[in-house]
Amino acid sequence: MFGYYFDLALHSLKRNPVLTALMVLAIGLGIGASMTMVTVLHVMTDDPLPGRSAQLYYPHLDPTPLNYTQNGDSPDPTDNLTWPDAMALLKAHKATRQAAMAGGSLLVRPVRAGMQPFEVDGRYATADFFALFGVPFEHGQGWSAADDTARARVVVLGDALARKLFGHADGIGQTVRLGDNDYRVIGVTADWQPKPMFYADASSQHYSDNDEFFLPLPVAVDQKLQINGNESSWAKHVDPSVMTSDGMSWLQFWVQLDGSAQVAAYRQFLIDYSAQQKALGRFERAPTSAKLYSLMGWLAHENLVPNDVRLQLWLALGFLFVCMVNIVALLLAKFLRRSGEISVRRALGARRGDIFFQLGLESAVIGVAGGMLGLLIAQLGLWSVRHRPDDYAQLAQMDVPMLLGTFALAIVASVLAGLLPAWRACRVPPALQLKTL
């Protein structure tokens, strides 16, 4: 029966080739536009560290004075930690792993002749950084907490920078000149680029920035290396060059917590710490203002998806809705026009269900064709997104779930669109129609 209905559907669609083409085009445009934007949003809100993200948390303290008012568009200073707070959390060692970090740019001096000096972005971090995030190494390893304390002049290079500097040699033990100091290479990471770069400061380009080197944070503070990111101070007469001031926030801090008991304990620890700081007169706000964000919660808090992208998604969905209403109306008119034919089939013994199935199949055929067209249009749309100069542009690729999702959406949409017309058509009273024949 399926084959027969399929033939009938094709036959009926062929009778009105222009109209069929237009319906397929409408559903293709709607699906294509929606899936382009759904895919963009999907890659922007994807889990940056699958498998590990559930254990990662971001402590949030509020050391700002009570009368501190934030300027309209300026970044929230409490999203970062001050040096004393970060060091206190680090020393307390209440989490399985913990690391403080900040972004920075350094000038790389050429190591061989014929090379121009260039700037690279990287991260200053404490020792746990690599184990905390599970950074894979190609050669060597990260530094130890003892290196942090000893202010060891060591560096871990990203694979791209290592290749640029040393070609195919691993470079371990070599010396690189970054800024005005020499650092010994102790490790080279494998390709590791979590997207979005969740651990970076709010002012960074979360979808396009990459870390090409990693330096011990205490060395960066000692050497007063340049920090990228928001440095907000609220205390009067804070010298912005003093990175260790307790009136300026600029550090990011991540902890690994295993299990809900440890999470609850850490949350309590943050509140206790705030209470203690309040008792000391450093903090002025209620200790319960201390918060602990999960990784995905933190990304939601940072609100990385620009408003324009959300607006584009709603626009695409609105477009899809209009296309759907359009298809429903057209199919309804089309099916009702065949009332005579349907009545003959009914009179010859077809059940309502049979008619419903036949017409439903016809709309599904349109849906499949529209879905394929939509897939093409979505690829075209994503290609155009990739050519935007936005920082998320490069990520706009369709993965397998999205591919299948597009197809499913197209079929579900068109079957849904066919449902009402098919239902309406199979309820046509046959006797009335037959009389007019």
Partner 1 sequence: MQLKPILASLRHHKLTATLLMLQVAVTCAIVCNVVHMIANRVERISVFTGIAESELSVIPSRSIEKGGNPQAQHVVDLAALRAIPGVRSAVAVSYSLPLNQNESSHGTCPDKQALDRAMQLNSIKGSGCVEPSVYDGSPGLIGTLGLHLVEGRDFLPDEYVTKGKPAVAIITRALAQHLYPGRPALGQSMYDGDNFIRVVGIVDALLRPNLRTLGVDYDSMIFPQPPDGEGVLYVLRSAPQDRQRVLEVAAARLVKVNPNRIINPKRVQTYSEVRAQYFQRDTTMIGLLIASALGLLFVTALGITGLANFWVQTRTRSIGIRRAIGATHGDILRYFQTENFLIVTGGVALGMLLAFVLNVVLMTHYELPQLPWYYLPIGALALWVLGQLAVLGPALRAAAVPPVVATRSV
Which residues are near partner 1 by CB under 8 A? 19, 22-23, 25-26, 29-30, 33, 67-69, 72-73, 107, 116-119, 180, 306-308, 310-312, 315-316, 318-319, 321-323, 325-326, 328-330, 332-334, 336-337, 388-390, 420, 424, 437
Q: Least Å distance between CB 260 and partner 1?
A: 34
Q: Smallest distance from the beta carbon of 204 to partner 1, in angstroms?
A: 15
Name the residue nearer to partner 1 (CB basis): 323 or 355.
323
Measured from the CB atom, the residue of 43 and 417 that comes closer to partner 1 is 417
Closest approach of Cβ 273 to partner 1, in Å?
Answer: 27
CB of 390 to partner 1, least distance (A): 7
Q: Please state the closest distance from residue 236 (CB atom) to partner 1, in A.
A: 10
SS3 of residue 215 by DSSP: strand
For the CB of residue 258, give the shortest distance to partner 1 in the complex, in Å: 38
In whole angstroms, how close is the CB of 363 to partner 1 at the nearest point?
15
Q: Look up residue 409 and give its two tokens.
A: 């959406």
Please give the full DSSP string across 380-394, using - where no structure is assigned: HHHHHHHTS-STTGG
Nearest CB to partner 1, comparing residues 107 and 412: 107
- Please identify, using beta-carbon distances, which residue of 124 and 319 lies nearer to partner 1: 319
Residue for token pair 């380009």? 205
Write the burial class of residue 34 (CB in 10 Å: 0-12 exposed, 13-18 middle, 19+ buried): buried
Q: Rounded to an integer, what distance in angstroms lies between the CA atom of residue 77 and that of residue 100?
A: 16
Measured distance CA(9)–CA(298) in Å, rounded? 51
Q: How far is the CB of 387 from partner 1 (least distance, A)?
A: 10
Kind and range of the H or E run holding 328? helix 307-337
Q: Determine the angle formed by the axes of helices 260-279 and 83-92, rounding to 10 degrees.
A: 130
Q: How far apart are CA 403 and CA 165, in angstroms?
A: 39
Rounded to an integer, what distance in angstroms lies between the CA atom of residue 96 and that of residue 263? 11
Q: Of the candidates 8, 18, 6, 3, which has an alpha carbon nearest to the alpha carbon of residue 368?
A: 6
What's the CA gap between 74 and 411, in Å, rounded? 46
Task: Compute the Cα dihedral for 147, 131, 123, 59 and give only its sign.
Answer: negative
CA-based nearest residue to 88, from 59, 127, 129, 65: 59
Decide if 206 contacts 393 (C-beta within 8 A): no
Q: State in angstroms the smallest separation of the CB of 82 from partner 1.
A: 20
* C-beta closer to partner 1: residue 30 or 418: 30
**Minimum CB distance to partner 1 smaller for 135 or for 328:** 328
Taking the least distance from each CB to partner 1, the nearer of 177 and 267 is 177
Please identify, using beta-carbon distances, which residue of 5 and 68 lies nearer to partner 1. Answer: 68
How do 232-233 and 97-108 pair as beta strands? unpaired
Q: State how far the Cα of 382 lies from the Cα of 395, in Å rounded to an integer.
A: 9
- Residues 6 or more apart whose CB falls under 8 angstroms from that of 319 comprise 29, 30, 33, 34
| Residue closer to partner 1, measured from CB, 120 or 398 | 120
Which tokens hold the place of 97?
A: 């792993």
Min CB(325)–partner 1 separation in Å? 4
Smaller CB separation from partner 1, 56 or 316:
316
Using the structure block, give the residue that is written with the tokens 């203690």.
276
